[in-house]
């Protein structure tokens, strides 16, 4: 069975981002074992640039060991998040900074460079119309995903949630299409 890790970044358990995530899961054709990581439910220690991972290939903090193990071996990463000030909410950003571990693994460890390739699905919501949001988000994700041997495969944004509180047909169709292609 293929393995999926969902990195969920909204504080709302039944908000717009959760609705997008649920739609994807409901429509998956392939069977996945799913590891769901809610960044708001974990007190993720911020990266302190202590350089321990540079020397030991391990993080000094042990709070997300379960996730790092799941991420290393998964086939699909789903990043589901609202846009906060053009970026990710702080708990998810803290998590992404901790991915410095993967940067150092990639630099130092040849075995790591050969880990399995991963697809990445990015599901976003924003209160206003998206405009340049994807550009900023993608630049950030492109700083971290390659070190997990991952790249953005599919991306959807449900924007303008301040005004449009029902998911539009085009977003529904995009998510269903992604689910069918995974
Ligand atoms: C602190 C904060 C910052 C936000 N920044 C933005 C922003 O920069 N652009 C935008 O369009 N919406 C912004 N929003 C709105 C959220 O992205 C939007 O309400 C989103 O749909 C919430 O999703 P959720 O229901 O899954 O939490 C912000 C909301 C909060 C609370």
141 and 120 Cβ atoms separated by less than 8 Å:
yes
Q: For the chain, how many structural domains are there in total? A: 1
Domain hosting residue 177, numbered range? 2-181
Query: How many Å lie between the centroid of ligand 1 and the Cα of residue 130?
Result: 11
- Ligand 1 pocket test: which of 7, 22, 41, 82 has the largest number of ligand atoms within 8 Å of its C-beta? 82
Atom of ligand 1 nearest to the CA of 20: 26
Q: Of how many residues is the chain composed?
A: 182
For ligand 1, which residues put their CB under 6 angstroms from it? 10, 12, 15-17, 82-86, 125-128, 161
CATH number at residue 59: 3.40.50.360
Measuring CA to CA, which residue among 28, 30, 39 is closest to residue 6? 39
Measuring CA to CA, which residue among 4, 25, 160 is closest to residue 76? 4
Q: Which residues of 55-89 are buried (b: 16+ CB within 10 A; e: fewer)?
A: eebebebeebeebbebbbebbbbbbbbbbbeeebb
* Tens digit of pLDDT at every position of the chain (182 positions): 999 999 999 999 999 999 999 999 999 988 899 999 999 999 999 999 999 999 898 999 999 999 988 999 999 999 999 999 999 999 999 999 999 999 999 998 888 888 999 999 999 999 999 989 999 999 999 999 999 999 999 999 999 999 999 999 999 999 999 999 99
The protein residue whose alpha carbon is closest to atom 6 in ligand 1 is: 84
Q: What is the pTM of this model?
A: 0.97
């Amino acid at each position: 069975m293929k393995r999926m890790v969902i990195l969920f970044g909204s504080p709302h358990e039944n908000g717009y981002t959760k609705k997008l995530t649920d739609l994807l899961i409901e429509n998956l054709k392939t069977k996945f074992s799913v590891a769901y990581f809610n960044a708001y439910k974990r007190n993720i220690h911020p990266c302190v640039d202590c350089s321990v991972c540079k020397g030991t290939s391990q993080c000094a903090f042990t709070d997300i060991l379960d996730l790092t193990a799941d991420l290393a071996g998964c086939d699909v990463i789903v990043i589901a998040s609202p846009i906060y000030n053009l970026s990710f909410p702080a708990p998810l950003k803290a998590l992404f900074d901790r991915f410095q571990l993967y940067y150092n693994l990639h630099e130092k460890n040849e075995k790591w460079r050969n880990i399995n390739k991963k697809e990445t699905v990015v599901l976003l919501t924003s209160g206003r119309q998206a405009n340049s949001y994807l550009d900023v988000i993608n630049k950030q994700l492109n700083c971290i995903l390659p070190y997990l041997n991952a790249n953005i495969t599919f991306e959807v944004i449900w924007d303008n949630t301040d005004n449009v509180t029902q998911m539009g047909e085009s977003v529904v169709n995009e998510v269903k299409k992604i689910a069918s292609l995974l």
